[in-house]
Amino acid sequence: MSSKGEILKRIKANQPNLVSELPNLNLLGSEQFDVLETYKTVLKGIGGDPVEVADYNEIINYIKSNYNLEKRLITTLPELSEIASLDWKTVDPHSLQDVELTVVKAHFGVAENSGLWVTDDILGQRVAPFITQYLAIIVHKKDLVPTMQQAYQRIGNMEYGFGTFIAGPSKTADIEQSLVLGAHGARGLIVFLLD
């Protein structure tokens, strides 16, 4: 605790007294573009797959035809209970290591970077979107905002323990700038864009 006092004392003595105001953020984020088209283009550009669907049935059918249902599929959404389990939210997170596909729903998405905002209350477990081999996130088309400017307006004072923007699958280019999907987290990301 003694260091805290010392550090703060030094900072107080050394910090300049120049700027008290903060800039006006309302000047930002006024770019005009087609939000849905941009969202899809950006997502594809960073290795994710946009899939437009009309309802949950289409999502179920898509998953049935693209994933092996014998493997472990988990979701937070009762609408998907036919194909994925719902009873994992209180288990030891380490036990999720064999999950093949996690399906969750995002609060909203951001067109300029394809990021999807998710928080722990809708993730089931914080590690769920990371430890899974593949990830699918559902977002309503009406819940797409243009830029991060609108994104934080929407988040506002939202209460959460943990929240993250997820933009595309986990990736790395640490070996000679060669892009490889599936570094530590999900190898692929499907975004179901729901009417």
Partner 1 sequence: MSSEKTISHSVAATKFNKDVERVNWHDETLWFVRSKRDKSAHQIADWELLRETASQIKFNVLSNIHDYLVEFEANAQRNGIIVHWAADAKEHNEIVHSIMAKHEVKQMVKSKSMLTEECHLNDYLAEKGIEVIDSDLGEYIVQLRKEPPSHIVLPAIHLKKEDVSETFHEHLGTEKGNFNPQYLTESARQSLRNTFLTRKVALTGVNFAVAETGEVVVCTNEGNADMGAHLADVHIACMGFEKLIPKREHLGVFLRLLARSATGQPITTFSSHFKKPRDGKEMHIVIVDNGRSTQLGREDFRNSLKCIRCGACMNTCPVYRRSGGHSYHNAVAGPIGSILAPNLDMSKNADLPFASTLCGSCTNVCPVKIDIHDQLYKWRQVLVKEGHTPKAKTIAMKTMATVLANPTVFNIAGKSGRFVMKNIPGMVNNKMNKWYDQREMPDVPEESFREWYKKNSRESKEKGNE
Q: Which of residues 81-100 bind partner 1 (CB under 8 A)?
A: 93-94, 97
CA distances to 109, 138, 140 from 38, rounded to whole Å, are 11, 17, 15
From the list 50-58, 72-80, 99-107, 159-167, the region that binds partner 1 by CB under 8 A is 159-167
From the CA atom positions of the chain, what is the Rg in Å? Answer: 20
Site string for partner 1, 55-84 (x = CB under 8 A): ------------------------------
Q: Which is nearer to partner 1, 60 or 123 (CB)?
A: 123
Q: 117 exposed, middle or buried (CB, 10 Å; 0-12, 13-18, 19+)?
A: buried
Residues 11-30 that bind partner 1 (CB under 8 A): 11-23, 25, 27-30
Phi, psi of 193 (to 5 degrees): -95, 105
Q: Which is nearer to partner 1, 16 or 78 (CB)?
A: 16
DSSP H or E segment with residue 161: none
Least distance (Å) between residue 45 CB and partner 1: 8
Q: 3-class SS at 86?
A: coil
Site size for partner 1 (CB under 8 A): 75
